[in-house]
Amino acid sequence: MPSILDNKNTSAPSVFQPAALLREARRQKSIPAVDVPSVCILDPDGDVVRQLRQTGRAIPFEGWPCYHTRLDTFALGDRTVGIVGYAVGAPFAVLIAEELFASGCRLLLSLTSAGQVTPAGPTPYFVIIERALRDEGTSYHYAPPSEYAEADTRLVAMAVEALRGWSPQVIVGSSWTTDAPFRETAEAIEAARSKGVLAVEMEAAALYAFARNTGAKVLCLAHVTNTMGQAEQDFEKGEADGTADALRVLEAIVRKASLDPPWLGT
């Protein structure tokens, strides 16, 4: 067995807790303990955050004590939501997720750009990730070994309902989460394709394993924007680097979640 699987008792509590880190960060920075918005977004690419800042919509959340990131808030429909940009990769995404849920987050949405594995139409389009192939290390600290990390089926169903009849295309399917994007070999891609995987990204498997372990409400979406550089003029995301469509998708899901109180803990 690979050593990454050694000493992994996923049901045992961690000695190091996010609340302890946040407590000390607040003490060192003289930041009062305040809750973050109940709905937060991870924006690994940073395109949405960058657009929000450029247009003056993003407001820094001064009570965010994280050592590594900035939390902004902005109006999404009739809600104020939080957003953290550049949380790319499974370890970083889960670190931020742990801190967000320890700070009052009730629902976390992650929207990342992804490479096309099994074609489902011309790019760009969106995938609601219902399960993620575990080809990264973080998830094994949260869940016993398995081929996939599964999303909460009720959250997936909620998002499907929110985006029914949507344009651009939104589909439900599986992704492949890897820690090594520049080791996406032809053999590995074909293996993922043979399983019906639609897209490759870097966070979903770990976020879903974290969610299952802790009971946190997390939904991951992939914005399929490229064919891993296999064509000229690849990585074109759409209007404003894809943020126009991304914000519409996020707003529809958040609006639906707001009508379904259990998702927001009310």
Asked if residue 84 belongs to a domain, the reply is yes
| pTM of the complete model | 0.95
Which one-letter amino acid corresponds to residue 163? Answer: L
Cα–Cα distances in Å, from 245 out to 91, 121, 175? Answer: 27, 17, 20
Angle between helices 204-214 and 90-101 (to 10 degrees): 30
Do 221 and 126 meet the contact criterion of CB atoms below 8 Å apart?
Answer: yes
Asked if residue 13 belongs to a domain, the reply is no
pLDDT per residue rounded down to tens, the chain (266 residues): 788 889 999 999 999 999 999 999 999 999 999 999 999 999 999 999 999 999 999 999 999 999 999 999 999 999 999 999 999 999 999 999 999 999 999 999 999 999 999 999 888 999 999 999 999 999 999 999 999 999 999 999 999 999 998 887 899 999 999 999 999 999 999 999 999 999 999 999 999 999 999 999 999 999 998 766 455 555 556 554 678 999 999 999 999 999 876 777 64
Per the structure, how many domains does the chain have? 1
Cα–Cα distances in Å, from 97 out to 54, 105, 207? Answer: 25, 9, 8
Asked if residue 226 belongs to a domain, the reply is yes
- Strands of the chain (E only): list them: 39-43, 59-60, 71-76, 79-85, 107-116, 125-135, 148-150, 170-178, 199-201, 218-226
We report the CATH number of the domain holding residue 226 as: 3.40.50.1580
Asked if residue 7 belongs to a domain, the reply is no
